[in-house]
Structure 1
């Protein structure tokens, strides 16, 4: 990512009409999309602040001179400003000018053109000029004029730049058919259908968001009899109004602007939310050597240890239905224990300390227990992790937030905390990456607070998203090595940043959680639309919801999304079997020791061992010379004709995504072919490779002709 991206979100309830726009309009019926009774389209136009823009704007403007026939007078003796004459006198003067102007036009007067104006009293510099009406014109660019109407044929999906040089603005809508990034479907105004239930996002690429202004334009369809199918699908529209926003000096926020008609009269208000995604600072140079962003292998279901061995801190109510993990959660010991039981991945939660250290901890707050002034009583106090430096987190005696519901005794603070380092809370992410088995993948959940539906936020005054995400990604890039890593977050905007800022690791959207106020967390369908719009690899959802609604898994697969699950229901063996039958690709669950014995080999490690064994066998075959009687017969040119490569089977194959990680090396296939130049049957070679790689033969174009191959040693 070498540029910044500005995202403008327009929710379905963001557009409201003014009470005076329609007589008798109440506050409960201000929704334009319902009130108009016609389809409404919205489009976004981008403007960039030009160098010397003020001078350029003044160059094309003609000066306006005052009219000497209209005198000015002070309102009062002590008034400090001057105004024009009274409204009644001014109206009379203007009316007389119009009458005299119309009667003074001669019969041989040349009619004015579209580019001219009808000037009062023949004075071209008069302040009162009546512009002539313009004929509707068809637009010639994605940023069309407001007087445009819909042409009878659709335009190209790749429009050229407008005359002003503004690039087309792409958009996405949280709906099944429009959740991918694209241009607006209405080819006249390049807008998209907008209703009360839609959530529209506009994507604007820029070098500096502070120099960008956007204009949201709204159009209403013109009711008429459609002559063809295309006009019925895309009716002609009329310009309704527009709202201007900018500049965008912050990285995230909300803005409000008035909806203005063509005559610049206010008709309502429009509210938007925006986010600015900047390139990662001091990060590694972008490279396409390895990319898993849209890649998933068709292997068995991955077993992922939740916080290592599971949730350790439970409330009294939770302990009635669940057992705590045998090891403290999110510690080095917990992660290593999950590895010893054959976990494919371990899931962990990361966040930043006050001095920007990346630590592994689930809650946004921890508990410190100071002693009161009188009688030696103790008091549990919550302290945000973001407000403490890393040294304080390791040196102070801190407790989990679950103790807030339990009484604290004096004796609890008398002893020393003698836990070894591997059982201490707040381990650094770099230590986990360096000391845990590199063959085990990490499912890293980036913690970021979200607003709650009941009001407030999970954590106020948190880090700015760009700084927060950049710091975590730099830590991962530096210490990850070749480890498999998945990134995830509940916050959709943070997921978007994780996806845009790097091209190496796949990102999953966590959800859904109706307690959040964000509309993208209100249902499973909208969660999937949001993940698809952000071009994520998949979603990670609550297993309880998926078991209650099995169709959710198929819904996500139809959108091309990989499904992972988490939650208490995934801890049960029968539910695990059912979830695997539904096509779930990863189970995040607690207490892995109840399902796998210590010393078990993970699915990923067994696949690696099998691949290494195949590679060793291939190398041994290459070093062994073939018997003379089994050598390939020579052709007419005297060269031997190579045989197809040996048919080997790999453990897994490509399932999802459009790109295969480029680090995979299939050099052993080339080693099986002789080092001579020859002509071979392409179909035989394709069939052999298909069997070896377990690919669908229809996915490779079949060619029956002979083709020359240059074969290497």
Structure 2
């Protein structure tokens, strides 16, 4: 009887402590310092309004007042750090080769129009396409740093390449951007290498770490665990129903989407992380319904292919950075 009472009191104490620290994490953890806070994040510079990852896209987004540019990096044959999403040149340039096999000066231009991955055309039947202007050139990362010295940049390191990671770090240091940069990848191996190369550049949660984070949250252990990451960047699973024809989704796909959305989109989790100084970005959202839901859930920022849409939404709804 005494043992049962002891166990019950211990469990009750743990649950109460967990609940308290979930809402007031700074009792146990020092809040991470935020050098910047981003509501408006332009995915690949705004892939729905200009050709993705081009200087024209980045310029347009910055002129609109975006808080952050999101971009992707690869390494060329002559070890130049370029801004491009795909390792292959096939989708974006129509060339059957890889960036790593081509010197920078020989890289082909982008095609005249590119599909927007997170936006479907009418009735979900086809991709939405963005038709670009004159700028079809794959830029260097240092050009972005040169052109936008005060704009935070979110870098997806697209390849598990030690030289790429080292060179990106060197550029960040050279341009004095450790306080204006976040980097990482879904791969935990890449994130670990990034952190080891330069622990002064904030890192994103990798996919395995996101899963671990959810496990800690649902077991009540999260309030007791230190976190090295400063940015949680996650998809909103429910947008899958907008990217595919709803009539073509199987029952299992619907269930998986619903379950993933229910587990991941949690206001209590987002509030806890932001109280610890960890920003929460949700991607890639392209309509007002999803913008509204993300901010209602407590997300710090939204990543979009359509920076003008998001800016108009923020202006009309007066969403502040502190919200």
Instruction: Assess same fold via TM > 0.5.
Output: yes
Pairing 1:542–2:238 present: no
CA offset at residue 397 of structure 1? 5.2
CA offset at residue 501 of structure 1? 2.7
Alignment of 1:226-625 (within 5 A): 294-296=32-34, 302-310=39-47, 325-367=48-90, 382-393=96-107, 396=108, 399=111, 420=134, 423-436=135-148, 438-448=149-159, 463=161, 465=162, 467-481=163-177, 484-511=180-207, 525=214, 535-544=228-237, 548-549=262-263, 552-555=266-269, 558=272, 560=276, 561-567=278-284, 570-596=285-311
TM-score of the pair, normalised by structure 1: 0.30
CA offset at residue 581 of structure 1? 2.0
CA offset at residue 469 of structure 1? 1.2
Identify the structure with bigger relative contact order (alpha carbons < 8 Å, sequence gap 6+).
Answer: 2
- In 1, Cα distance between the equivalents of 2:297 and 2:32? 21
CA offset at residue 297 of structure 1? 6.9
CA displacement 1:1-38 (0-9 Å, x = unmatched) = xxxxxxxxxxxxxxxxxxxxxxxxxxxxxxxxxxxxxx
Answer whether contact 2:50 2:133 (CA < 8 A) is retained. Answer: no
Answer whether contact 1:361 1:425 (CA < 8 A) is retained. Answer: no
CA offset at residue 387 of structure 1? 1.3
* 3-state SS of paired residue (1:541): strand
1:485 to 1:470, Cα distance in 2 relative to 1, 3 A: same
1:521 to 1:527, Cα distance in 2 relative to 1, 3 A: farther
- In 2, Cα distance between the equivalents of 1:500 and 1:558? 26
Alignment of 1:649-688 (within 5 A): none
Answer whether contact 1:506 1:537 (CA < 8 A) is retained. Answer: yes
What is residue 249 of structure 2 aligned with on the other side?
none
Computing the radius of gyration over CA atoms, which structure comes out larger, 1 or 2?
Answer: 1
Q: Going by fraction, where is helix more abundant, 1 or 2?
A: 2
* 3-state SS of paired residue (1:536): coil
CA displacement 1:111-136 (0-9 Å, x = unmatched) = xxxxxxxxxxxxxxxxxxxxxxxxxx
1:594 to 1:435, Cα distance in 2 relative to 1, 3 A: same
CA offset at residue 488 of structure 1? 2.6
* 3-state SS of paired residue (2:96): strand
1:352 to 1:537, Cα distance in 2 relative to 1, 3 A: same
- In 1, Cα distance between the equivalents of 2:178 and 2:197? 19
Q: Going by fraction, where is strand more abundant, 1 or 2?
A: 1
Answer whether contact 2:112 2:136 (CA < 8 A) is retained. Answer: no
* 3-state SS of paired residue (1:588): strand
Answer whether contact 1:366 1:400 (CA < 8 A) is retained. Answer: no
What is residue 126 of structure 2 aligned with on the other side?
none
Unaligned 5+ runs, structure 1: 1-225, 230-292, 311-324, 370-379, 404-417, 450-462, 512-518, 608-650, 656-713
* 3-state SS of paired residue (1:383): coil
CA displacement 1:203-228 (0-9 Å, x = unmatched) = xxxxxxxxxxxxxxxxxxxxxxx9xx
* 3-state SS of paired residue (1:508): coil
1:440 to 1:448, Cα distance in 2 relative to 1, 3 A: same
1:401 to 1:495, Cα distance in 2 relative to 1, 3 A: farther
Unaligned 5+ runs, structure 2: 7-30, 116-131, 239-259
CA offset at residue 538 of structure 1? 3.0
* 3-state SS of paired residue (1:309): coil
CA displacement 1:254-287 (0-9 Å, x = unmatched) = xxxxxxxxxxxxxxxxxxxxxxxxxxxxxxxxxx
* 3-state SS of paired residue (2:232): strand
- In 1, Cα distance between the equivalents of 2:110 and 2:216? 36
- In 2, Cα distance between the equivalents of 1:537 and 1:397? 35
Residues paired across the two proteins, number: 245
- In 2, Cα distance between the equivalents of 1:538 and 1:585? 10
Answer whether contact 2:41 2:302 (CA < 8 A) is retained. Answer: yes
1:482 to 1:365, Cα distance in 2 relative to 1, 3 A: closer
Answer whether contact 2:49 2:305 (CA < 8 A) is retained. Answer: no
1:491 to 1:481, Cα distance in 2 relative to 1, 3 A: closer
